[in-house]
Amino acid sequence: MARWILKAANSFLNFVVILSLCVSGLYAGYALWDNNQVYAAAQNVQADMIKLKPKTVDAEEDAGASFEELLAINEDVCAWVTLDNTNIDFPVLQGDTNLTYINRDVYGNFALAGSIYLDSRNEHEFHDLVNLLYGHHMDDGEMFGDLDKYKDETFFNENTKGSLILPDRIYDLETFACLLVGASEDVIFEPQEYKSNIKTLLDFTEQNAMYYNKDKIAELRETNGEQQILIFSTCSTEFTDARTIVLTIMKPHSGR
């Protein structure tokens, strides 16, 4: 009798182990499928949007769309941002709060990948001295995942260009610093505090940046309050609530 009970118990344990393995396998398969769906959705939206990237003043006549075509899709679109030699090439939205587009695409549909969006405290027309953009960190360089590239010193030094297209003007972007900060760092995440002086931001950058361009920092100090700054922010994994930050100077585009 005892032998039969032991045998039955072993059989039951084997069944539980096999069942657990099967459930784990199914869950892993579902998680992989679900993850692929998230990335595919982000890629599909981006493929649609890139066709509507607004033309620049020095582009060929048939290159690009008009900004009105983007606004027809969503009136919350306020810009188009690009960083050269990365996958960052997206429309920028601004919602009533910083949660509006955290999990919503440009069409207004639920999407875990969310959108690239301007801090809700910034002016919609990018008139602030310091402007802050957010985007999810995703693998394969999707959304703001490619901000990781700037953590490589060689890439940081060799890739300093980008653009910000607005309905009425265009800015050339020049990267000048890459930082790793906590999500509660007010120097970075309180852009509305900078009204006419960016000394605090520049001091913090020199003291904490992984890499920064000394010449551009000096230029900003000389023209304190005259040149605007655009900040890129995304999540990172180095520590709890870590954020990768890339700072750029906004310079009015002069055309060819």
Cβ–Cβ < 8 Å for 138, 145 = yes
Q: What does the pLDDT read at residue 43?
A: 54
Q: What does the pLDDT read at residue 141?
A: 85
Q: What tokens does 159 get? A: 């890739």
Binned at pLDDT 50, 70 and 90, residue 41 comes out as very low
Lowest-pLDDT range, 46-55, 80-89, 112-121, 151-160?
A: 46-55
pLDDT for residue 25 is more than 90:
no
Binned at pLDDT 50, 70 and 90, residue 246 comes out as very high
Which distant-in-sequence residues (6+ apart) come within 8 Å of 112 by Cβ?
38, 41, 103, 136
Q: What tokens does 252 get? A: 């009015």
Q: Phi/psi zone of residue 51: left (φ > 0), alpha (ψ -120 to 50 degrees), beta? A: alpha
Q: What tokens does 29 get? A: 């398969």
Q: What does the pLDDT read at residue 254?
A: 78
pLDDT for residue 28 is more than 50:
no
Q: What does the pLDDT read at residue 14?
A: 57
Binned at pLDDT 50, 70 and 90, residue 51 comes out as confident
The amino acid present at 113, given as its one-letter code, is A
Cβ–Cβ < 8 Å for 225, 219 = no
Provide DSSP, 48-85.
HHHTTPBPPTTS-TTSSB-HHHHHHH-TTEEEEEEETT
Over the stretch 200-223, which tens digit does the pLDDT of each residue have?
999 999 999 999 999 999 999 998
Which domains are seen in the chain, by residue range?
67-252 (2.40.260.10)
Q: What tokens does 8 get? A: 């039955």
- Identify which of 210, 196, 176, 203 has the alpha carbon closest to the alpha carbon of residue 83: 176
Compute the distance between CA of residue 148 and CA of residue 213 in angstroms, rounded to an integer: 17
Over the stretch 116-135, which tens digit does the pLDDT of each residue have?
999 999 999 999 999 999 99
Packing angle between helix 214-222 and helix 199-208, nearest 10 degrees?
A: 170
Compute the distance between CA of residue 124 and CA of residue 112 in angstroms, rounded to an integer: 24
Would the pTM of this model clear 0.85, i.e. be above it?
Answer: no
Residue with tokens 């505090």: 193
What pairing do the DSSP bridges indicate for beta strands 242-252 and 89-93? unpaired
Q: Mean pLDDT, the chain, as a whole number?
A: 85
Compute the distance between CA of residue 33 and CA of residue 52 in angstroms, rounded to an integer: 29
Q: What does the pLDDT read at residue 66?
A: 84
Lowest-pLDDT range, 31-35, 122-126, 171-175, 223-227?
A: 31-35
Cβ–Cβ < 8 Å for 196, 129 = yes
